[in-house]
Structure 1
Protein backbone atom coordinates (compact mmCIF):
# COMPACT_ATOMS: atom_id res chain seq x y z
CA UNK A 1 0.00 0.00 0.00
CA UNK A 2 2.83 2.42 0.73
CA UNK A 3 4.05 2.02 -2.84
CA UNK A 4 0.69 3.22 -4.10
CA UNK A 5 0.76 6.25 -1.83
CA UNK A 6 4.25 7.26 -2.97
CA UNK A 7 3.26 6.69 -6.61
CA UNK A 8 0.35 9.10 -6.34
CA UNK A 9 2.52 11.62 -4.50
CA UNK A 10 5.19 11.55 -7.20
CA UNK A 11 2.56 12.22 -9.86
CA UNK A 12 1.31 15.29 -7.94
CA UNK A 13 -2.28 14.12 -7.77
CA UNK A 14 -4.29 16.04 -5.18
CA UNK A 15 -7.59 14.78 -3.79
CA UNK A 16 -10.40 17.21 -3.02
CA UNK A 17 -13.62 16.32 -1.21
CA UNK A 18 -16.80 18.32 -1.73
CA UNK A 19 -20.44 17.73 -0.87
CA UNK A 20 -22.67 17.18 -3.89
CA UNK A 21 -26.26 16.34 -4.66
CA UNK A 22 -27.19 13.75 -7.27
CA UNK A 23 -30.54 14.30 -8.94
CA UNK A 24 -33.00 11.66 -10.17
CA UNK A 25 -31.26 11.29 -13.55
CA UNK A 26 -27.75 11.11 -12.08
CA UNK A 27 -26.54 14.67 -12.61
CA UNK A 28 -23.99 15.64 -9.94
CA UNK A 29 -24.19 19.21 -8.58
CA UNK A 30 -21.88 20.70 -5.93
CA UNK A 31 -23.82 22.07 -2.95
CA UNK A 32 -21.48 24.94 -2.04
CA UNK A 33 -19.32 25.54 -5.08
CA UNK A 34 -19.90 28.69 -7.12
CA UNK A 35 -17.81 27.36 -10.00
CA UNK A 36 -18.57 24.25 -12.05
CA UNK A 37 -16.71 21.03 -11.41
CA UNK A 38 -13.56 20.69 -13.51
CA UNK A 39 -13.55 18.25 -16.38
CA UNK A 40 -11.86 14.98 -15.55
CA UNK A 41 -12.25 11.82 -13.53
CA UNK A 42 -13.45 11.44 -9.95
CA UNK A 43 -14.25 8.81 -7.36
CA UNK A 44 -17.77 8.97 -5.98
CA UNK A 45 -18.81 7.83 -2.51
CA UNK A 46 -22.47 8.20 -1.61
CA UNK A 47 -24.49 8.01 1.55
CA UNK A 48 -27.60 5.89 1.57
CA UNK A 49 -30.58 6.47 3.78
CA UNK A 50 -30.99 2.74 4.31
CA UNK A 51 -29.33 1.11 7.30
CA UNK A 52 -27.95 -2.40 6.98
CA UNK A 53 -29.90 -4.55 9.45
CA UNK A 54 -26.83 -6.71 10.09
CA UNK A 55 -24.95 -3.65 11.35
CA UNK A 56 -27.74 -2.80 13.77
CA UNK A 57 -27.97 -6.36 15.07
CA UNK A 58 -24.22 -6.69 15.61
CA UNK A 59 -23.77 -3.33 17.34
CA UNK A 60 -24.72 -4.61 20.81
CA UNK A 61 -22.48 -7.67 20.53
CA UNK A 62 -19.53 -5.58 19.37
CA UNK A 63 -20.13 -3.01 22.11
CA UNK A 64 -19.62 -5.73 24.72
CA UNK A 65 -16.11 -6.27 23.40
CA UNK A 66 -15.31 -2.62 22.72
CA UNK A 67 -16.35 -1.37 26.15
CA UNK A 68 -14.11 -3.71 28.17
CA UNK A 69 -11.21 -2.23 30.18
CA UNK A 70 -8.79 -4.44 28.23
CA UNK A 71 -9.82 -2.70 25.01
CA UNK A 72 -9.24 0.73 26.56
CA UNK A 73 -5.77 -0.37 27.63
CA UNK A 74 -4.96 -1.80 24.20
CA UNK A 75 -5.87 1.46 22.43
CA UNK A 76 -4.58 3.87 25.09
CA UNK A 77 -1.42 4.72 23.16
CA UNK A 78 -3.58 6.30 20.42
CA UNK A 79 -5.39 8.62 22.83
CA UNK A 80 -4.13 12.14 23.52
CA UNK A 81 -2.32 12.62 26.82
CA UNK A 82 -4.62 13.59 29.68
Structure 2
Protein backbone atom coordinates (compact mmCIF):
# COMPACT_ATOMS: atom_id res chain seq x y z
CA UNK A 1 0.00 0.00 0.00
CA UNK A 2 1.41 3.46 -0.83
CA UNK A 3 2.19 5.74 2.11
CA UNK A 4 -0.71 8.17 2.58
CA UNK A 5 0.58 11.63 1.60
CA UNK A 6 0.86 14.32 4.29
CA UNK A 7 -0.56 12.08 7.00
CA UNK A 8 0.04 13.58 10.46
CA UNK A 9 -1.62 10.48 11.92
CA UNK A 10 1.47 8.51 10.87
CA UNK A 11 4.26 10.93 11.70
CA UNK A 12 5.61 10.72 15.28
CA UNK A 13 7.03 14.24 14.98
CA UNK A 14 3.54 15.56 14.21
CA UNK A 15 1.48 13.55 16.68
CA UNK A 16 3.99 13.71 19.52
CA UNK A 17 7.27 15.58 19.26
CA UNK A 18 6.33 19.10 18.13
CA UNK A 19 3.58 19.57 20.72
CA UNK A 20 5.67 18.01 23.46
CA UNK A 21 8.67 20.23 22.70
CA UNK A 22 6.54 23.35 22.49
CA UNK A 23 5.07 22.61 25.92
CA UNK A 24 8.57 22.24 27.40
CA UNK A 25 10.79 24.67 25.48
CA UNK A 26 8.69 27.81 25.88
CA UNK A 27 8.23 27.49 29.65
CA UNK A 28 11.40 29.54 30.22
CA UNK A 29 10.71 31.87 27.26
CA UNK A 30 13.99 31.71 25.30
CA UNK A 31 15.18 35.23 24.45
CA UNK A 32 17.60 34.48 21.63
CA UNK A 33 17.82 31.99 18.80
CA UNK A 34 20.71 30.30 20.59
CA UNK A 35 18.63 30.04 23.79
CA UNK A 36 15.88 28.39 21.73
CA UNK A 37 18.29 25.94 20.10
CA UNK A 38 19.80 25.08 23.48
CA UNK A 39 16.36 24.55 25.03
CA UNK A 40 15.28 22.27 22.17
CA UNK A 41 18.47 20.22 22.44
CA UNK A 42 18.11 19.96 26.22
CA UNK A 43 14.46 18.92 26.09
CA UNK A 44 15.01 16.31 23.39
CA UNK A 45 17.81 14.78 25.46
CA UNK A 46 15.54 14.76 28.53
CA UNK A 47 12.69 12.78 26.93
CA UNK A 48 12.37 9.62 29.05
CA UNK A 49 13.11 6.37 27.22
CA UNK A 50 9.79 4.94 28.43
CA UNK A 51 7.97 7.79 26.69
CA UNK A 52 9.85 7.13 23.45
CA UNK A 53 9.01 3.43 23.73
CA UNK A 54 5.33 4.35 24.09
CA UNK A 55 5.51 6.65 21.07
CA UNK A 56 7.02 3.90 18.94
CA UNK A 57 4.46 1.37 20.15
CA UNK A 58 1.75 3.88 19.32
CA UNK A 59 3.33 4.38 15.88
CA UNK A 60 3.10 0.65 15.15
CA UNK A 61 -0.57 0.66 16.19
CA UNK A 62 -1.25 3.66 13.94
CA UNK A 63 0.35 1.85 11.00
CA UNK A 64 -1.81 -1.18 11.69
CA UNK A 65 -4.91 1.03 11.83
CA UNK A 66 -3.93 2.62 8.53
CA UNK A 67 -3.61 -0.81 6.91
CA UNK A 68 -6.98 -1.86 8.35
CA UNK A 69 -8.54 1.37 7.02
CA UNK A 70 -6.88 0.77 3.63
CA UNK A 71 -5.18 4.16 3.83
CA UNK A 72 -8.33 6.14 4.62
CA UNK A 73 -8.50 8.70 7.45
CA UNK A 74 -8.01 7.19 10.89
CA UNK A 75 -11.30 7.83 12.63
CA UNK A 76 -10.04 6.94 16.08
CA UNK A 77 -6.42 7.75 16.71
CA UNK A 78 -4.60 6.35 19.69
CA UNK A 79 -3.13 8.73 22.26
CA UNK A 80 -1.10 7.37 25.14
CA UNK A 81 1.47 9.02 27.38
**What TM-score do the two structures reach when normalised by structure 2?**
0.29
* Rg comparison, structure with higher value: 1
Q: Report the structure, 1 or 2, having the larger strand content.
A: 1
Relative contact order (alpha carbons < 8 A, sep ≥ 6): 1 or 2 greater?
2
**What TM-score do the two structures reach when normalised by structure 1?**
0.29
